[in-house]
Amino acid sequence: MNHFLHGVARATSEAFDLPGPILEIGSYQVPGQENLADLRRLFPDKPYLGVDLRPGPGVDCLANVEALPQADASMGAVIAMNCFEHVARFWRGFDEIHRVLCADGVLLVSCPFYFHIHEYPNDYWRFSPAGLEVLLEPYPTKIIGWHGPKGRPLHVWAVAFREGCPAVTAEQLERYRALLRQHAHEPWSGFKRLRFGLASWLCGRGAVSPYLDQQCWEIVCRTRSPKSRPRLRRPQNTPQPR
């Protein structure tokens, strides 16, 4: 967790009324990051459950996102910030989140893209904005965001709304943009500015563009009509019930 992603979570919590109860996947708070990683403070009036593979600060339930113990349609919102790179069978995790979300549920998810290999328990995957959009196909509406250079983003995130959610209005989207501008940014010291400025001058801007452009971000909103389920047709040779 970093300042930028904490700002994304804060902007999301203020722009949209995420229903409770809220389930956080990968809620373990790494020592030294408690102030940034404690996202439950953004939702003081809603039931909040933190899930992780290991016990520790911020963890209320030990579980694997590939097989969540929560019941179907029991959660109002799910938050998964920078954890799916650690999920070996990530597609199962996305299926499980969709299962436990209620019909008007919301998912906030973020994933690193241009980031060093890190653990726990291991580091398996990276997701581009287009890849994250594919994984979120079951959600009729999603806001996809990224920061850093478009061709080499640092992190990718999305807010995905299930079929029971009202449509995202233009006013909500603009408010979200304004809140991102307000909250989502990394603090830069004078030393960092000097170091990356010198590196840009010596090696060219492209070599350090992910760091120079980390305050740059973009979001797009994708909306489609919910797909209706196909009606089952009775086989012609099946006798009709009396």
Q: What angle do CA 217, 2, 77 make, to 5 degrees?
A: 80
Mean pLDDT over residues 138-160, rounded? Answer: 94
**β-strand partners of 61:** 51
Question: How many whole angstroms separate alpha carbon 179 and alpha carbon 177?
Answer: 5
Residue-wise pLDDT for 203-236, tens only, equals 777 767 766 677 889 999 999 865 543 333 334 4
The end-to-end CA distance of the chain, in Å, is 62
Output the pLDDT for position 77. Answer: 98
Angle between helices 170-183 and 3-15 (to 10 degrees): 150
pLDDT over 70 at 101, yes or no: yes
Using an 8 Å Cβ cutoff, are 110 and 5 in contact? yes
Comparing 19-23, 96-100, 114-118, 226-230, the range with the smallest average pLDDT is: 226-230
Enter the pTM of the model: 0.87
What residue ranges define each of the domains in the chain, with the CATH number in brackets? 3-188+216-223 (3.40.50.150)
